[in-house]
A and B are shown apart, each in its own frame.
Chain A
Amino acid sequence: MELDSVMLSRMLTSMTLAFHIIFATIGVGVPVMISLAEFIGIKRKDAHYILLARRWARGFTITVAVGVVTGTCIGLQLSLLWPSFMRVAGQVISLPLFMETFAFFFEAIFLGIYLYTWDRFKKPIYHWLLSIPVIIGSSASAIFITTVNAFMNTPQGFTLRDGVITGIDPLKAMFNPATPSKVFHVLTSSYMTSAFILAAITAWVILFGKKTEYHMKSLKLTMAAGLIFALGTAVAGDISAKFLAKVQPEKLAAAEWHFETGKNADLILFGTLDENREIHNEIRLPKVLSFLAGNSFDTEVIGLDKIPEDEQPPLWIHYMFDLMVVIGMYATFISAVFVFLMRFRGNPFNKPLLWSIVASGPLSMLAIEFGWIFAEVGRQPWILRGYMKVAEGATRADHVGLTFLMFLALYLVLAVMTVIVLTRMFKKKTPEQEFEERYSNAF
């Protein structure tokens, strides 16, 4: 591996995105959970849920701040690190980028209003209504930015001849074949991950702090929501796999180590690969890949033999794909067990289950990272699939290495500070104290 500008640009972009995606995911999912909690609180006249929404919202401001600044970083880095790419693709993707900023603007305005108007309205439902534009804004910005990424996977809506772009159709570019499945998968997995992260925090507190009514309600809400979103994510993932089989077969083939085109293709779970592309130590599910690709065991799945060698993605994305799927199934299973025990009067608050929930939060976030690494590395060597390779898009400026180190330092500082500030914020005042202060007169 040579550390030239191309490699360093890739490393810096990956680092920024890997860091940003943590906060972006929380930014898309947590408003939904806050809104749910407040709505239930108002409907059931249960102050515990209102307090839950308030406390989540307070922590959310910190993650939003980091999300906003890292988002600004990646926004500008696109031009700083990939100027040749932006010069060409910028003409086609500027509409969704522009609309993403609008959505972000909308969200920022209403988030500011939401956070500072808790006690300003006579009817609490008015305050709850303010959470709707926040959700619309955050989810819409996820949708728009995902269309940009989808465009890079399946570009359309323009003609490129000798580096000159003509015949641009902005809407066709935005609603490219990859858009529906990507958007669906991004939204459900963000909602899911946020629910499991909030659940993991609650489960941790129940294990090591107190098991109060407040915490039990919190865990019930987050686990129930988590189950629904996890099922949604599974459906979205299935749609995405079928899409890949049809439109981007090289990505699925690399992910599944599927070398020979053919029917009755096996699904490979984990395993290792030797120099001769022989698979060892794998768990083999016969014919399942065919089923995954087209709902029938006879579906023909295109293998890497049909893809020119210099256009094949690296084969290690197989592990990313497997880890993502396995974590998704784990989280679905855990939340299903919890909801089952909750419905049928079992004890969902038993220690092993609580520990499993604690694990589900960070694991879901890891699954997000793995999924994005799979999606992004899976379209290597292309930056604009079929049009422009990564090496042609990168900056020719020097000092990318220095820039990498500067941003590495920045993200380290931000990561450490975020953890410290969030921990301090929630330890300073326990929910019981806050509940006492706020509602001792009212109830």
Chain B
Amino acid sequence: MKDKGPLIPRNRDAHPVAYDPGYKTSVARSPNLPLLSMESSPSEETGPTFGHGKLGALDNNLILNWTKGAAPAVGERILMHGRVLDENARPVPNTLLEIWQANAGGRYRHKKDTYLAPLDPNFGGCGRTLTDENGYYQFLTIRPGAYPWPNRGNDWRPMHIHISVYGHSFGQRLITQMYFEGDPLIDHCPIAATIKNRAQLDALVAPLDLAHSRPLDYLAYKFDIVLRGRRQSMFENKLEGM
């Protein structure tokens, strides 16, 4: 098998800090000691693959998938779409994306969510899909509502959709959140503020995409995702076993 090269080391400055007292739960859940850095190995350069066989026809349609198509969810109908690329700007095809979110009122269908906003009997809140050969994906869903959370006295999460991506290797594994253009809560959110590089936070904000909206049906938001790439080299200067 041809060596596709090690993963490009993660630029930790592009990511949130682990310890951030503004986000209280991070205080006791962040390592104190530095991470151990080294070049990737097969354990990080390989990863699980998923075929279409596991996926159902409505898995990427959150408006219909909870009721198996019987009744649509309530709320703002939106298309969430975009591409998954790597740091070398190459598309990442056939990779699994999973999303989960609250309903239009900000309530999650999870046994631990006790927020007083009601559940929508026609909305479950999770979806999954595979990117196509160009790294493109799409979900049809309901725009989630903002919701309060027990952090500081009056903290509210901006509208967001959680996203989990595999890429083609375990070392590319990533979970993030998509925010929505113009949401004033983004600048008040301690979780968003764990990202200290403003350009990196802005890259989590999906713009309204009227060109991909469907008239009289749904609005679109575009969200591209960049995963780690691999470093290729024509040179092999290390001696065997070094």
* Chain B associates with chain A: no
Interface, chain A (partner B; CB < 8 A): none
Interface, chain B (partner A; CB < 8 A): none
